[in-house]
Structure 1
Amino acid sequence: MKEKYFLQVKANGLGIKVYLNGVPLVEEPEGFGIQETIPVNYWLMHKENSLHVQLTHPEVVSEENQTEEAQVILFVHDQSSDSPKIAKEIAIFEWPLTDVKQTFPYNWSIKIDKIIPLTLGSLLWYKTSAIQTVDESAKLSIYNLIRHVPDLIRNRNFDEAFKFLRLKYQDEAILESKPLNQIESAVKELWQFMTSIQGLKLHSVSIDDLDFSIVGRQHIVQVSRKDGAPAILFEDTDEEVFYGIPLFFANINKQWIVIR
């Protein structure tokens, strides 16, 4: 059975950003507190992985968050458990540190020597081109994809929408050892449910509303709204239903694709 890897992040009284291989996976800059465990097979390389943690001191410290503490653990999952459970720690960061002056922002990084026995067929690190800049032509190509996919979902043209995201889910199938058709069925069922909710609206977005950031060792363009929300966003404010699709793009054979 293929190993599963998770990233566990806990923080209180501090702003925290956690990057795996240059990709920002956890961000909580306000210091309100966070406790999150996320699967990361999706983002790992076969070898030479890196983990980076940045701590900041929040501008306003609430009475509930007087204690400043943080812990980040990259671990192998104990597969005897249905929920994420540590079988073996790969990397760990804890704050406060007794031998370090507590100045902010504080940055901590580690190179991970462990060979990750994942399938090497993943497109992300092995088929994508390095990205130096995101010029206006690239932004327009990416934006056209972002604009097209939610319209297909809203109009319940799920087959066409999945085609645009197919490589993203194909990589997930490789790295999670799941049949692609099983993932496709689950995704389409979610879309079917979301589009059946009365009052759920697609938030329109212009190209000027978007941030295009090169991340992931210069192999990925992360696209989000300038307020931090996902580029594709459905919301029903009355029912407090929120559904966003985070998007990461890569360039393969001079074509922009959704890779994550």
Structure 2
Amino acid sequence: MSEKQKRPYYALDIRVKGIEFELKINDVSLFSDPEAEGLKVQSPVNDWLFEGLNIFDFILYEPKPLPKANAQQGEESQEPAKPEMLVKLSSIDFSGEYPQPDEVLMECRFPSEEIPKLSAMHTKEVKLEEAPESTLWSQAEDITGRELEAEQTARKMIKEFAGSLESRNFEAAFEMMRYKFKEYASANGFEFERIREVVLEQYAMIEEFDFHYEDVPDSATAHVIEGDGRILRVFRKDDKPAVVFSNPEEDSCFGIPIYIARIGGEWKFVR
């Protein structure tokens, strides 16, 4: 039996349309569809969960009508898709040839008796007897009241990290993310060295496909303290991740989400 099979493994299945949607896990915003364009995601969430009570906050709004391409000609705006949402948290069974959902631990659906109409917030609680191995939740310091220091530090860290990728110094970039990837490996039952190999291969694609960093002014970036005061989430105000690399000629890009915390007196990328 592999290490992953010995450990609990949890995944979310998210299917949303016609809703301005945001999902927070333990007070950290992880999935969103602010334009109600539709969201279909299957994602492991081990590194966001811990033993005991886990809180899932669903923020749901009716979308604004979408304008038609030829709305300037006086036609009525386009109606959004019929609002629907189904989100499931399941444990995953690795005993067979392929991973399969085992037990559904949480389900949230709209419309339903539980959520008959769209409202600002709906909360679900999931108590886990077995939790993934993660040290963030026990080690991260409360940074409430240190917002200015956190933001200034985050800007420096992001500049250094993005600069390492831009200059193709992928080893240095990985070292800045070491804590994040050690946590990911531990929480998901992977060998750290294998994660390192995969990440460096992904970073190498920046050079292969001639991607370059989209440097934006500080005013275009937002900083929010989440995770009950322990995590700083950094993102662009256009709803893109804080770090984006792109190749305009190929009309392609990819983003790297940024979450920072203070561990043992040092600021680190943690997720």
In the superposition, the TM-score normalised over structure 1's length comes to: 0.91
Q: Corresponding residue for 2:35?
A: 30
Query: Residue 155 of structure 2 aligns to which amino acid in structure 1?
Result: Y
1:154/1:99 Cα in 2 relative to 1: closer, same or farther (>3 Å)? closer
Match of 1:212 among 223, 227, 235: 223
Aligned counterparts of 1:101 and 1:92: Cα–Cα separation in 2: 15
Contact 1:158–1:191 (8 Å) recurs in 2: yes
- The reply to whether residue 132 of structure 1 matches residue 147 of structure 2 is no
SS of alignment partner, residue 60 of structure 1: coil
Residue 248 of structure 1 aligns with which residue? 259
CA distance in structure 1 between the partners assigned to 2:146 and 2:138 by the alignment: 20
Counterpart of 1:36 in structure 2: which amino acid?
V
One-letter identity of the residue aligned with 1:123: T
From 128, 131, 135, give the equivalent of 1:117: 131
Match of 2:18 among 9, 13, 17: 13
**Structure 2: which amino acid aligns with 1:249?**
I
Q: Verify the 8 A CA contact 1:12 1:67 in the aligned structure 2.
A: yes
Distance 2:125 2:217 in 1: 38
Q: CA deviation at 1:133?
A: 3.1
Q: Which of these residues, 235, 243, 247, is aligned with residue 236 of structure 1?
A: 247
Q: For 2:146 and 2:218, how far apart are their aligned partners in 1?
A: 13
Computed over aligned residues only, the root mean square deviation of the Cα atoms, in angstroms, reads 1.9
Aligned partners of 1:205 and 1:231 also within 8 Å:
no
Question: The residue matched to 1:113 in structure 2 has which SS?
Answer: strand
Tell me which of 226, 250, 268 is aligned to 1:257.
Answer: 268
- SS of 1:91's equivalent? strand
Instruction: Decide which of 92, 106, 115 is 1:77's aligned counterpart.
Output: 92
2:198 partner letter = A
**1:203 counterpart residue number:** 214
* Matching residue within 91, 97, 103 for 1:88: 103
**Residue type matched to 1:165 in 2?**
M
Q: Match for residue 56 of structure 1?
A: 61
**Worse overlay, 72-81 or 139-148:** 72-81
CA separation of 1:8/1:100 partners in 2, compared to 1, >3 Å: closer, same or farther? closer
Quick check: 1:3 aligned with 2:8?
Answer: yes
Seen in structure 2, the aligned counterparts of structure 1 residues 66 and 228 have a Cα distance that, compared at 3 Å, is closer
For 2:167 and 2:245, locate their aligned partners in 1 and report how far apart those are by CA, in whole Å. 13
Q: Per-residue CA shift, 1:48-94, capped at 9, x if unaligned?
A: 111111210001158674422111111111323646x4211111111
- Quote the sequence identity (%): 24
User: In the alignment, which residue of structure 2 is the partner of 1:186?
Assistant: 198
Q: In 1, are the aligned partners of 2:234 and 2:259 still within 8 Å (CA)?
A: yes
Aligned-partner Cα distance in 2 for 1:43–1:215? 12
- Judged with a 3 Å threshold, the aligned counterparts in structure 2 of structure 1 residues 233 and 134 are, in CA distance, closer, same or farther, namely farther
**5+ long unaligned stretches in structure 2:** 67-76
Report the secondary structure of 2:24's partner residue.
Answer: strand
AA in 1 matched with 2:147: D
Q: Which amino acid aligns with 2:165?
A: I
- Partners of 1:100 and 1:40 in 2: CA distance: 24
Contact 1:29 1:56 in 2 (8 A): no
Gaps of 5+ in 1: none
